[in-house]
Structure 1
């Protein structure tokens, strides 16, 4: 046993000392310097510093969301939390492979219309997959609303392609 451990230790030291491909430390090679990309707009901009930073940056553009309406809404739960409420929704799409599920507001700027705050349950469809059982297709999403967003809201409604659920205060 001692001879085996000693032989293994000596061979490990011998391999780590050599510059061959058998040495794990040489697998990715050493680092080499390369020229930094030059900004076309101006020469004094550092490419390592992001142009837009900060949590409260108001110059951010809105990213388009191309989600499709899910088939049905299974559950809708509104839970009160300090400072607002959390809306938890589970839904079942027609096919498997749905991801990036979102509650998209129907009303402009999340303002209630006649006391009803309406959302659409949408998701992005991945590569074509089979239908599968409803339990395997089930997706969930949650959204936190502040007390200011809930002001004047008496009903929260979530719509899908085949049904809609609503919760009242």
Structure 2
């Protein structure tokens, strides 16, 4: 009887810990969006431009750190070589720009949103994430942020 009570107590305690901030799988929650407008003089000298809009942002924890992935939406098909370029890391916030090359053919189709989406990602180790409370990815018209819970 005591053994069953002990097992029940351990299970209840373990399951309640799953929803806390101490669980590494809960470190980064859902993303939130902020609408912005980036002007040409704010952009660095990278030959790639900023993607028009950030559609989604996720941080997936793994045993060695986390993988950050962002989905960008350019105005038409054919954009290529997408990267998340780190621009700052201070005050517990890590900021990336979503950079992408324009199509070589200026007459590419617009087509559907799904056919234009571009994915970029970066893997960070535990040392890269030490002290980081939020991660932001910037596009031309918006930025998305995920924060530790």
Q: Give the TM bin, normalised by the shorter chain.
A: 0.5 to 0.7
C-alpha distance in 2 between matches for 1:72 and 1:154: 23
**RMSD (CA atoms):** 1.4
Q: Which consecutive segments of 4 or more residues in structure 1 shift more than 3 A?
A: none
Instruction: Establish whether residue 89 from structure 1 lines up as the match of residue 70 from structure 2.
Output: yes
Deviation at 1:65, TM superposition (A): 5.1
- Residue number among 43, 46, 57 corresponding to 1:76 in the alignment: 57
Structure with the bigger RCO (C-alpha within 8 Å, sep 6+) is 2
Q: Tell me the TM-score normalized by structure 2.
A: 0.65
Q: For residues 30-41 of structure 1, what are the structure 2 equivalents within 5 Å?
A: none
Number of residue equivalences: 102
List gaps (5 residues or longer) in structure 1. Answer: 1-63
List gaps (5 residues or longer) in structure 2. Answer: 1-44
SS at match of 2:100: strand
Instruction: Establish whether residue 149 from structure 1 lines up as the match of residue 107 from structure 2.
Output: no
C-alpha distance in 2 between matches for 1:148 and 1:120: 21
Superimposed CA distance per residue, residues 32-76 of structure 1 (whole angstroms, 9 cap, x where no aligned partner): xxxxxxxxxxxxxxxxxxxxxxxxxxxxxxxx9521100101111
Instruction: Establish whether residue 99 from structure 1 lines up as the match of residue 80 from structure 2.
Output: yes
C-alpha distance in 1 between matches for 2:46 and 2:123: 19
Instruction: Establish whether residue 168 from structure 1 lines up as the match of residue 116 from structure 2.
Output: no
- Residue number among 102, 108, 123 corresponding to 2:100 in the alignment: 123
What is the aligned partner in structure 2 of residue 114 from structure 1? 91
Q: Whose Rg is larger? A: 1
What is the aligned partner in structure 1 of residue 39 from structure 2? none
C-alpha distance in 1 between matches for 2:48 and 2:85: 9
Q: For residues 42-61 of structure 1, what are the structure 2 equivalents within 5 Å?
A: none
C-alpha distance in 2 between matches for 1:152 and 1:146: 12
Deviation at 1:135, TM superposition (A): 1.4
